[in-house]
Chains A and B, each alone.
Chain A
Amino acid sequence: MTIVREPVWDDAPRSKAQGVVRRLTSVLSALGLAAKIALASIASFPAVLCRRSGRADFANQLYVTGIRTLPVITVVSLFTGMILALQVGLELRRFNQEMYLGAAVMISLVREMGPFSCGMCLVACVGSAIAAELGTMKINDEIAALEIMSISPIRYLAAPRIFALVVMAPLLAFFCCVVGVVGGGIVGSTQLGVDFRQYVSSAMGIAKTKDLFVGLFKAGVFGLVVGTVSVSEGFGTSLGATGVGRSTQRSVIAGFLLILMLGYMITRAFYR
Chain B
Amino acid sequence: MSLISFENVTKRFDGRPVLDGLSFTVEKGEILCIVGPSGTGKSVTLKHLVRLLTPSSGRVVVDGIDVAECSGAELERLRGRIGYLFQSGALLAWMTVAENVALPLEECTSLPDEEISARVAAALEAVELSDAADKYPSEISGGMQKRAGLARAIVRETDIVLYDEPTSGLDPVTASTIDRLVKKLNRELGITSIVVTHDIASALKIADRILLVKRGKAVECSAPAQFARSANPEVREFLEAAKGGAI
Contacts and interface: CB of A to CB of B under 8 A. Distances in A.
Nearest to B12: A9
Nearest to A52: B106
Contacts of B54: 6
Interface in B29-55: 50, 52-54
Contacts, number: 51
Interface in A123-171: 137, 140-142, 144-145, 147-151, 156
B103 A140 contact: no
A144 B79 CA distance: 12
B58 interface: no
Contact of A149 (B15, B87, B104): B104
Given A7-B13, A51-B107, A147 B52 contact: yes
Contacts of A9: 13-15
B107 A148 contact: no
Contacts of A147: 52, 79
B88 interface: yes
Interface residues of A, number: 18
Interface in B53-111: 53-54, 76, 79-80, 82, 84, 86-88, 90-92, 103-104, 106-108
B94 to A, nearest CB: 9
Contacts of A140: 88, 90
A149 B92 CA distance: 13
A149 B84 CA distance: 9
B106 A53 contact: yes
Contacts of A51: 106-107
A148 B51 CA distance: 9
Nearest to A60: B94
Interface string A1-30: 000101101000000000000000000000
A137 to B, nearest CB: 8
Contacts of A137: 92
Interface string A173-190: 000000000000000000
A158 to B, nearest CB: 15
B108 A4 contact: no
17 contacts: A6-B54, A9-B13, A51-B106, A53-B107, A137-B92, A140-B88, A141-B87, A144-B86, A148-B50, A148-B52, A148-B79, A149-B79, A149-B103, A149-B107, A150-B76, A150-B104, A151-B104
Interface of A: 4, 6-7, 9, 51, 53, 137, 140-142, 144-145, 147-151, 156
Interface of B: 13-15, 50, 52-54, 76, 79-80, 82, 84, 86-88, 90-92, 103-104, 106-108, 152, 156
Given A137-B92, A141-B90, A156-B107, 17 more contacts: A4-B52, A6-B53, A7-B13, A140-B88, A140-B90, A142-B91, A144-B52, A147-B79, A148-B79, A149-B103, A149-B104, A149-B107, A149-B152, A150-B104, A151-B104, A151-B107, A151-B108
